[in-house]
A and B are shown apart, each in its own frame.
Chain A
Amino acid sequence: MSDKPPPRTIVFKRYMVPNRLAALVDRPGGKWREEAIAEATRNLESVRGESMDVVEELIAEMELRCAEGAKDRLNVSTEIERLANQIITIAETFGLTALSEACKRLCDLVSAGEDRWAKLASPLAIHVRAVRLFAPKSRPLDATSSALVLAELRKVLDHFEIAAPKAIAVD
């Protein structure tokens, strides 16, 4: 008698399905790609001003959370990561690359793990200050200064041996 367990049987079905979305988008009277994209871009531009105000509010909230950091580190780190992600979404939509990069460095730092939090309070404060430097209503930095600030943030992460998490391109 063999000791091998019997092979597991999985019922496998593969079939074509009706695509209702295809039937709907193919109706007459649609928008051409260029026309639709241009209108969507115009709509986005119409909310640029209010989005910049939102970014300022999010940064202010982040600064507040960072100041509270010593009390409840775990909740604060989750909150800061959430705020940073919201800023990244808006910043990348409107081409604020340096702000988005600074927030990504902050996310890398926050995701380093709660066991290392005792050492990371000061680097966290530095990153939040850097985010403030790139805020839409702060005095704009030239390209060289922006690159320098981001490079220094990278050095801080390197010092604490925090690597950027392995991300993959999905689009």
Chain B
Amino acid sequence: MLKSKMKLSGVSALVVDSDRHAVNLLLQMLRGLGMDQPTVADTGEQALSLLKNHVYDLCIFESILPDMTAGELISFVRHQEQPAKFTPILVVTAYSHMGNVRAARDAGAHLVVKKPLSPQVLFDRISWAASATRPFVEAGLYVGPDRRFKFTGPPEGVGRRQDDLPAEIGQATEPNLSQAEIDALVKPTRVFAE
């Protein structure tokens, strides 16, 4: 559920974007929403050195940086010690092609938002990142928030997790129980105490 009120002063945020004009607009919005002074980095290298020395409460990354992609940066965060690895990460992208969105999602971003951001969208996305009780998943190379938003069963009817049940029951693999066998399973049985 989205929050109708938020206190963003005192929240430490890291904004990584090489487009200084876009950063300027984003900072104007963040200050308006109540954030004091977000830290800004314009290259991936700069961001990495900041992330090594500080745990941020919120990260906002541009999907394409001059020296690396947001995916590489996210992957670095997700392989840090906790609590740094759990930091909510918003990826903003001017190029909202399927490939960019997928890459950010598969690297462990919480949300991907298309540029330009509006104050409404920014408030709601931060609010969502702050209110969602989303479990974390570690599976092979993927470390990040659970990518399943809706609990509607296994995707496309094919479960890939151990606890996924098949969408269809399918053909029986064992003979059906006879009534006598069912009765035997549920019949009260006298137990003799020793």
> Which B residue sits closest to A31, measured CB to CB?
B34
Which residues of the partner chain B approach A170 to less than 8 Å between Cβ atoms?
A: 93, 96, 101, 112-114
Known: A25-B127, A85-B19. A41 touches B32 (CB 8 A): yes
Residues of A in contact (CB 8 Å), total: 50
Across the interface, do B19 and A86 meet the contact criterion of CB distance under 8 Å? yes
Which residues of the partner chain A approach B125 to less than 8 Å between Cβ atoms?
A: 171
Q: Give bound CA distance, A27 to B115, whole Å.
A: 29
- In the complex, per-residue mask of A23-63: 1 if CB is within 8 Å of any chain B CB, else 0: 01111111111001101111110110001001000100000
Across the interface, do B136 and A15 meet the contact criterion of CB distance under 8 Å? yes
Looking at B4-12, B67-75, B168-176, the stretch in contact with chain A turns out to be: B4-12
Across the interface, do B93 and A39 meet the contact criterion of CB distance under 8 Å? no
How many chain B residues sit at the interface, stated as a range, is: 35 or more
Known: A24-B57, A171-B113. A36 touches B33 (CB 8 A): yes
Across the interface, do A93 and B25 meet the contact criterion of CB distance under 8 Å? yes
Q: Give bound CA distance, A30 to B126, whole Å.
A: 14
Check B152 for interface membership: any CB of A closer than 8 A: no
Across the interface, do A12 and B32 meet the contact criterion of CB distance under 8 Å? no
Which residues of the partner chain B approach A19 to less than 8 Å between Cβ atoms?
A: 86, 88, 130, 132-133
Q: Say how far B180's CB is from chain A's closest CB, in angstroms.
A: 38
Which residues of the partner chain A approach B161 to less than 8 Å between Cβ atoms?
A: 12
Which residues of the partner chain B approach A13 to less than 8 Å between Cβ atoms?
A: 137-139
Q: Give bound CA distance, A74 to B89, whole Å.
A: 33
Which residues of the partner chain B approach A10 to less than 8 Å between Cβ atoms?
A: 139-140
Check B193 for interface membership: any CB of A closer than 8 A: no
Which residues of the partner chain B approach A4 to less than 8 Å between Cβ atoms?
A: none
Q: Give bound CA distance, A71 to B84, whole Å.
A: 47
Check B119 for interface membership: any CB of A closer than 8 A: yes
Across the interface, do A89 and B97 meet the contact criterion of CB distance under 8 Å? no
Check B94 for interface membership: any CB of A closer than 8 A: yes
Residue in contact with A47 in the complex, picked from B7, B25, B83, CB distance below 8 Å? B25
A positions within 8 Å CB-CB of B? 10-22, 24-33, 36-37, 39-44, 46-47, 51, 54, 58, 85-86, 88-90, 92-93, 165-171
7 A-B pairs with the lowest CB-CB distances in the bound complex, closest first: A40-B32, A30-B7, A40-B119, A39-B32, A43-B28, A25-B6, A43-B32
Besides A37-B120, A89-B21, 12 new A-B residue pairs in contact (Cβ under 8 A), listed by A number: A17-B86, A21-B57, A24-B11, A26-B7, A31-B7, A40-B32, A40-B123, A44-B32, A89-B115, A90-B22, A168-B96, A170-B112
